[in-house]
Structure 1
Amino acid sequence: MMNRKVQIGDPPIRILRDDLQKLETLLDSMHRSYARISMFLQQEVLRADIVDQATRRPFVRLGSQVHFTDDIGTSHNGTLHMPEEGCPVPPDAISILTPVGCALLGLSPGQTITYQTVDRREKRITVTKVVNNG
């Protein structure tokens, strides 16, 4: 079960108030097939500090270009994306409806988090860079 418990040592995360409203709407409308990811996303939203605007220290938010490494040292990058009708999907999209997308939400460069994959393996990722447009 992806019902990830907040762990001692989890990094603090932040979510923009505008993103929070989008995420709450998404959580309210999620289909049962997304129950596990919905629970993970809801836990992350509940533990986040909600901020009204971007801060000096960048953090991963919806639409962020994020660079991160995994526990075996492989580098990844992509844009955190929320499925919205009529919005184009970026070619490098990382869906918020995936375990890694949920795990990235709210992290700042240098922060590390452990999450559970769909096949129940534990993965660890570290954010190395965040670029926010706007």
Structure 2
Amino acid sequence: MLLVLAATMASQNPCAQMSSAYEMRECGVKQLEAIDRDLQKSWERAISRARTEDRLYDGPGPAGEWAAALTKSQQNWNRYRDAQCTAESLKMRPGNGTMGLELNCRIRMGQARITELEVHFDFR
């Protein structure tokens, strides 16, 4: 069972094939940079759509709430991600794996947030 899990994780994480801690860290940093770029694009599309919908809204209640709520949600998500990934990384203290755990967490959570934004705003 553990071998299957390890093989699955390696196929999902191209950095798992690296041979040294340095290579794994560099690969993880590049992966995170790509996720951050994709997340920024998804965020920009989502907030743009929310702002457009807010401008066009002609129903009961105040207009402009969707973009404000989405902005607050993203700010809270950023704080949650930072705290969660710090907490996850601390289980390796004071070892070399701390940064790797934090990178993996940020990559995983970034991918999940991209999916949340894209599904919620119908980008897929």
Query: So what's the TM-score if we normalise by structure 1?
Result: 0.27
Q: Which has the larger radius of gyration?
A: 2
Q: Quick check: which one's helix share is greater?
A: 2
